[in-house]
Structure 1
Amino acid sequence: MTSNVSTQVRGAFVPVQIGPLQLKNRFIKAATNEGMSPNGVPSRQLVQFHAGIVAGGAAMTTVAYCAVSDDGCTLPNQIQLNEQTLPHLRALTDAVHREGGAASAQITHGGCFVFTPQPGQRRPLSASGGFNKIGLMSGMFFKRQMTRADMQRIAADFARGARLAKQAGFDAVEIHMGHGYLLSQFLSPLYNKRTDEYGGSLENRLRFPREVLRSVLDAVGREMAVLCKFSITEGVRGGNHIEEGVAIARALEAEGAHALVLSAGLNAESITTMFGSSFPAENRAVVTNPIMKLAMYLQQRFEKPREFKPLYLLKYARQIRAAVNVPLAYLGGLTSAEGVSTLCDEGFDLMAMGRVLIHDPAWVRDLQQGALTQSGCTACNRCVAMMYTEGGTSCVLGRAGDPILNSLPAAG
């Protein structure tokens, strides 16, 4: 620890233990889709992006949306965890480790939230079958209720994905259980209409996500940190609210998760709950994919405008903190030294940031050195649409990503 760390943020620069992994401080880069994996292969731009995050002071960076199954890819160019991507992922983790940080792979399956069907995939998997409202944008108008055999296969895919992540040099895996992807589709009463032991009560809706967590812990839990990211409130009528969020946290703690990442909202129904502020109309001008243009239009048309407020999820997250002892990563509107101090005082073990570190990868280092106390990020959300540009995700107030680097595979 340097001598010029202010008393206000000193506690955030104390090492923390997450399962078998010790992090040098409490700051982690939250998973954000960077659009830097052409044909599912990490690019040199992605390596540079994540290495820059840890060079800027964060203890760990999270590589988003690593699909564990071919039928679970949400978007074009999403990373797939397989033997072909291992050398490129190893190039990324090696670069992160050279900068003195740790790397986490966010492992996920899109369920019915997919826009790029695989050959022969007419009906995507989900907790329940029937009409697929997400499929209105991709032509997959119906989804298929998962059978027990499907669940066993996907749970095994998560375990295999975690083992591949370890082989690629990752220090942690983050199981994505939020935002409307497959495991979230089991948790949410908006999506889960089953009448068997995997539907109905929250205890039943938790059954498959808990099985996935157990399979991952059994596969890698002694050697890697295993985190779970979930929506502590879905922010939409008929969805889970904070009371369910507390119960989910308790169940994941009981199952053995090493840490929980506290997010909120659903991609389709309540994205402003997730980001804490509205999306600008300018985003549609950046996006060339007509499906994504339509999705953004519908979100802006039907969601109420929301003005950004710092620590916008704190009132919910502190209820989770009061209910469990497992390490918690707060996510949602951390932008200042004052916010860091508040989260330390409130007992959060980790602080996850997305937009702030996209805007300024060196924000943590500058905070530690006393060079700044407030981020310059305006929470305009225009970085979200930048993932569809040739250079990938970047802050519109800074330098755009390099299209050439983003076209080159990470290894080779």
Structure 2
Amino acid sequence: MSNSSVDVSVFQPLRIGPLTLRNRFIKAATNEGAARNGIPTGQSLRLHERIAAGGAGMTTLAYCAVSADGRTLPDQVVLDRNSLPHLRALTQAVHREGAAAAAQITHGGCFTFLPPSGSALPLSASGGFNKVGIMSGMLCKQAMTEADLAQVSGEFVQGARLAREAGFDAVELHMGHGYLLSQFISPLYNKRRDGYGGSLENRMRFPLRVLRQVLDAVGNELAVVCKYSVTDGVRGGNQAEDGAAIARLFEAEGAHLLVLSAGMNVESITTMFGSSFPKENRVSTGKPVIDAVVALKSLLEPQVRFRELYLLEHSRKVRAAVRMPLAYLGGVKSLESIEHLMAQGFDAVALGRVLLAEPDYVNKLRSGACRDSICTACNRCVAMMYTPGGTSCVLGEPGDAQLNAVGAASL
């Protein structure tokens, strides 16, 4: 196949805020299982280095908690001084390959399997019964006070500043999937009766406050990206029309790029991944709580068959609502789909499972070596993040358990 058949527009540079990407391909953040004691491991460095060498314009380090209490699981990156040299080693490796590096910064709120250190209950938009806590024993959550809001927004700012110091080119504020900022945005979680609850505009007040403070702190030097759920994917939650209205608020506040995701970790994970987690595609993680959650979800979730571009109908509504740069995410695994997205007016293509299966997929497209990814959307990479080697595709080599036991700076 000649590379003359490739739509060259996807290989053109893209400007997002102060950052120019070499092309329109972004490695989406996918939890990696590649952090130990709050620092990224050598396996994490190698993963992002390979993706950068494989041609992506930017690669995103997933789930960097803005505080120790912001983690959902023990082995996640914490943005603090201890992690700084290891984060810097990772960004330097990515930069040597010519790509940009983004840090996804976030806080889990009540979506956590860890008891909070500073209080008896995990924080959330509203208090009361905690659905996630059924599996962790934390059956209640507490509504954030004004002091809590100030504390956490300050932690996002400090996290963004540390990401800048570590050499990242962008920060991605995770505002989807049922994590803390999403808990404010979604009516599934936000039952407040004050100025932070009720209408969509009120529910957006705290997330927009975080965005504004991060923009003020680093927006002249780093691209500030927002990833959010265009639809919660369940009755009673935000629908795509709400997702379009949310995008308009992000645009008005000055976000540089939106990554359009969907679904919630607890209520609608098939909306997020576009397909079910069949029993034959599950792996044992060795962690009984996680295995139980995966098994229970498989029983309760409706069976959904994968189809390419499964979020396109929702994302089109956002594209029609705003003029700002948008990255489409959801079921992209062929050149035909990529070209269709560019023709639809999306500015970038975010790839998750595909780049786990083939880190060099972008280079293969550019050279004309292939059109379609080998990824089958089996979702086993999701469970693989709990194995000793961290996230990997079952069609290739597993992650290196030895590399995954040492800090990135040791390489």
- What one-letter code is carried by the residue in structure 1 that aligns with 2:161? R
Q: How many residues align?
A: 410
Whole-Å separation in 2 of the counterparts to 1:396 and 1:122:
40
Q: What secondary structure, in the 3-state scheme, does the structure 2 residue paired with 1:319 have?
A: helix
Is 1:398 aligned with 2:396? yes
Shift of 1:39: 1.6
Residue of structure 1 in register with 2:384 after alignment: 386
Which residue of 324, 328, 331 corresponds with 1:333? 331
Which residue of 260, 284, 287 corresponds with 1:286? 284
Shifted more, 175-184 versus 279-288: the winner is 279-288
CA RMSD, Structure 1 to Structure 2 (Å)? 1.2
Residue of structure 2 in register with 1:368 after alignment: 366
Whole-Å separation in 2 of the counterparts to 1:359 and 1:260:
24
Over 3 Å counting, the alpha-carbon distance change for 1:284 and 1:396 in structure 2 is closer
Deviations 1:22-60 (A, max 9, x none): 000000000000101012211111100001001001010
Whole-Å separation in 1 of the counterparts to 2:232 and 2:4:
36
Shift of 1:254: 0.4
Q: What secondary structure, in the 3-state scheme, does the structure 2 residue paired with 1:96 have?
A: helix
Is 1:179 aligned with 2:177? yes
- What one-letter code is carried by the residue in structure 1 that aligns with 2:298? Q
Residue of structure 2 in register with 1:67 after alignment: 65
Residue of structure 1 in register with 2:112 after alignment: 114
Residue of structure 2 in register with 1:104 after alignment: 102
List gaps (5 residues or longer) in structure 2: none
Residue of structure 2 in register with 1:254 after alignment: 252
Asked if 1 retains the 8 angstrom alpha-carbon contact of 2:45 and 2:408, the reply is yes
Whole-Å separation in 1 of the counterparts to 2:125 and 2:281:
31
Residue of structure 1 in register with 2:146 after alignment: 148
Asked if 1 retains the 8 angstrom alpha-carbon contact of 2:176 and 2:182, the reply is yes
- What one-letter code is carried by the residue in structure 2 that aligns with 1:391? G
Residue of structure 1 in register with 2:127 after alignment: 129
Deviations 1:75-108 (A, max 9, x none): 1201000000000000000000001100000000
Asked if 1 retains the 8 angstrom alpha-carbon contact of 2:116 and 2:122, the reply is no
Residue of structure 1 in register with 2:213 after alignment: 215
TM-score (norm 1): 0.98
Shift of 1:301: 1.2
Whole-Å separation in 1 of the counterparts to 2:4 and 2:31:
33
Shifted more, 89-98 versus 5-14: the winner is 5-14
Whole-Å separation in 2 of the counterparts to 1:164 and 1:4:
44
Q: What secondary structure, in the 3-state scheme, does the structure 1 residue paired with 2:153 have?
A: helix
Residue of structure 2 in register with 1:296 after alignment: 294
Whole-Å separation in 2 of the counterparts to 1:240 and 1:328:
19
Whole-Å separation in 2 of the counterparts to 1:284 and 1:5:
37
Which residue of 286, 311, 314 corresponds with 2:312? 314
Residue of structure 1 in register with 2:35 after alignment: 37
Residue of structure 1 in register with 2:195 after alignment: 197
Deviations 1:250-306 (A, max 9, x none): 000100000000000000110000000001224554221111112112211111000
Whole-Å separation in 1 of the counterparts to 2:329 and 2:348:
9
Asked if 2 retains the 8 angstrom alpha-carbon contact of 1:280 and 1:382, the reply is no
Asked if 1 retains the 8 angstrom alpha-carbon contact of 2:6 and 2:366, the reply is no
Q: Summarize the alignment of residues 42-53 of structure 1 with structure 2, pairs less than 5 Å apart.
A: 42-53=40-51
Residue of structure 1 in register with 2:90 after alignment: 92
Q: What secondary structure, in the 3-state scheme, does the structure 1 residue paired with 2:338 have?
A: helix
Q: What secondary structure, in the 3-state scheme, does the structure 2 residue paired with 1:216 have?
A: helix
Deviations 1:200-239 (A, max 9, x none): 0111000000000001001100000000000001110111
- What one-letter code is carried by the residue in structure 1 that aligns with 2:123? L
Residue of structure 1 in register with 2:340 after alignment: 342
Q: What secondary structure, in the 3-state scheme, does the structure 1 residue paired with 2:349 have?
A: strand
Is 1:78 aligned with 2:58? no
Residue of structure 2 in register with 1:408 after alignment: 406
Deviations 1:48-74 (A, max 9, x none): 000100100101000000000221111
Whole-Å separation in 1 of the counterparts to 2:350 and 2:207:
22
Whole-Å separation in 2 of the counterparts to 1:9 and 1:285:
38
Whole-Å separation in 1 of the counterparts to 2:62 and 2:291:
22
- What one-letter code is carried by the residue in structure 2 that aligns with 1:47? L
- What one-letter code is carried by the residue in structure 1 that aligns with 2:113? F
Q: What secondary structure, in the 3-state scheme, does the structure 1 residue paired with 2:333 have?
A: coil
Instruction: Report sequence identity in percent.
Output: 62
Runs of 4+ in 1 over 4 A off after TM superposition: none
Shift of 1:4: 5.5
Asked if 1 retains the 8 angstrom alpha-carbon contact of 2:285 and 2:291, the reply is yes
Q: What secondary structure, in the 3-state scheme, does the structure 2 residue paired with 1:380 have?
A: coil
Asked if 2 retains the 8 angstrom alpha-carbon contact of 1:229 and 1:261, the reply is yes
Is 1:163 aligned with 2:200? no
Whole-Å separation in 2 of the counterparts to 1:8 and 1:287:
40
- What one-letter code is carried by the residue in structure 2 that aligns with 1:145? A
Residue of structure 2 in register with 1:6 after alignment: 4
Shift of 1:181: 0.1
List gaps (5 residues or longer) in structure 1: none
Whole-Å separation in 1 of the counterparts to 2:280 and 2:107:
29
Asked if 2 retains the 8 angstrom alpha-carbon contact of 1:330 and 1:351, the reply is yes
Q: What secondary structure, in the 3-state scheme, does the structure 1 residue paired with 2:102 have?
A: strand
Shift of 1:394: 0.5
Shifted more, 15-24 versus 119-128: the winner is 119-128
Q: What secondary structure, in the 3-state scheme, does the structure 2 residue paired with 1:390 have?
A: coil
Whole-Å separation in 2 of the counterparts to 1:217 and 1:146:
23
Whole-Å separation in 1 of the counterparts to 2:104 and 2:365:
26
Asked if 2 retains the 8 angstrom alpha-carbon contact of 1:128 and 1:146, the reply is yes
Asked if 1 retains the 8 angstrom alpha-carbon contact of 2:230 and 2:240, the reply is yes
